[in-house]
């Protein structure tokens, strides 16, 4: 691809991103690489009383997740399809492609609607803690949320992409521990249990954000411990 074509592509991508987040993308640097790379920094202004921390939880909180997990295992299959397809002989090519398409659709879905749903309430203090799920996986980021408390957490339900479990076992990801890394994962929120049902419905019905109640904050195990319930329910997601 020549330099002029690269610049045109970058301008197009910039516009797409701006339209997605309803904001401006400023500045930038160019490097040459065989892989597309995008990095950035977000700056903004906010009121102190609107800040939601990522490491503050209360006993009895409900845990809500806004995207399925398992996209790294799905993307590993995507890479193997191109570089070493023989390693995927045990899997249906159509099912893999369907899961790849769904994972990409979720990964490219902005989290802006989650924030808008929160601020549709006059008082946002019912959301005690919030973080995105990325490199440390669901359990890893949940441990981050517990780090300033003497509380523990119990994961009871996990939404997963179709084939994520089988591919995770095949590739050695820590599926059973909920420690698979994610790319552009969902928001994990620790919400006052009295508001959780209303908030979950508002996310879904008014802001079109898929979400699942995945567990709760308790005081049963040692502090900062995340346990996966013996009866954990894995919900296979096949569509938005």
**What per-residue confidence (pLDDT) applies to 24?**
79
Mean pLDDT across 89-110: 95
**What per-residue confidence (pLDDT) applies to 129?**
97
Containing structural domain, residue 68 = 52-237
176 lies in the same domain as 102: yes
Per the domain annotation, does 204 fall within a domain?
yes
24 lies in the same domain as 107: no
Q: Contact at 8 Å (CB) between 221 and 152?
A: yes
Q: What is the pLDDT of residues 147-176, one digit of tens each?
A: 999 999 999 999 999 999 999 999 999 999
Per the domain annotation, does 186 fall within a domain?
yes
Instruction: Output 186 or 45, whichever has higher pLDDT.
Output: 186
**What per-residue confidence (pLDDT) applies to 135?**
92
| Pairing mode of beta strands 62-65, 127-132 | unpaired
Structural domains in the chain (count): 2
Distance of CA 61 to the CA centre of its chain: 19
79 lies in the same domain as 177: yes
pLDDT surpassing 70 at residue 30:
no
Distance CA 114, CA 71 (A): 20
Q: What is the pLDDT of residues 189-221, one digit of tens each?
A: 999 999 999 999 999 999 999 999 999 999 998
Distance CA 73, CA 63 (A): 24
Distance CA 126, CA 161 (A): 29
pLDDT surpassing 60 at residue 140:
yes
114 lies in the same domain as 191: yes
59 lies in the same domain as 106: yes
169 lies in the same domain as 77: yes
| CATH classification at residue 186 | 3.90.650.10
Distance CA 142, CA 140 (A): 5
Mean pLDDT across 180-187: 96
29 lies in the same domain as 79: no
**What per-residue confidence (pLDDT) applies to 1?**
54
**What per-residue confidence (pLDDT) applies to 230?**
95
91 lies in the same domain as 130: yes
- 153: which strand partners? 217, 226
Q: What is the pLDDT of residues 48-58, one digit of tens each?
A: 877 899 999 99
Distance CA 127, CA 122 (A): 12
Per the domain annotation, does 47 fall within a domain?
no
């Amino acid at each position: 691809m020549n330099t002029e074509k690269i610049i045109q592509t970058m301008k197009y991508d910039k516009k797409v991103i701006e339209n997605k987040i309803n904001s401006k993308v400023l500045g930038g640097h160019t490097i040459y690489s065989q892989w597309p790379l995008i990095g950035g920094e977000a700056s903004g202004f906010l009121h102190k009383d609107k800040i939601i921390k990522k490491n503050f939880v209360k006993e009895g909180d409900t845990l809500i997740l806004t995207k399925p997990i398992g996209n790294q295992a799905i993307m590993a299959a995507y890479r193997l399809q191109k570089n070493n397809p023989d390693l995927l002989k045990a899997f249906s090519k159509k099912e893999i492609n369907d899961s790849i398409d769904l994972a990409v659709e979720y990964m490219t879905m902005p989290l802006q609607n989650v924030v808008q749903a929160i601020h549709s309430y006059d008082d946002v203090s019912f959301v005690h803690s919030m973080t995105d799920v990325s490199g440390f996986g669901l359990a890893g980021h949940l441990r981050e949320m517990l780090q300033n408390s003497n509380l523990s957490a119990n994961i009871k339900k996990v939404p997963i992409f179709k084939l994520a479990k089988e591919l995770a076992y095949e590739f050695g990801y820590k599926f059973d521990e909920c420690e698979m890394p994610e790319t552009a994962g969902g928001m994990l929120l620790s919400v006052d249990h009295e508001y959780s049902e209303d908030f979950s419905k508002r996310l879904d019905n008014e802001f079109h954000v898929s979400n699942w109640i995945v567990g709760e904050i308790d005081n049963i195990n040692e502090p900062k411990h995340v346990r996966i319930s013996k009866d954990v329910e894995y919900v296979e997601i096949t569509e938005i």
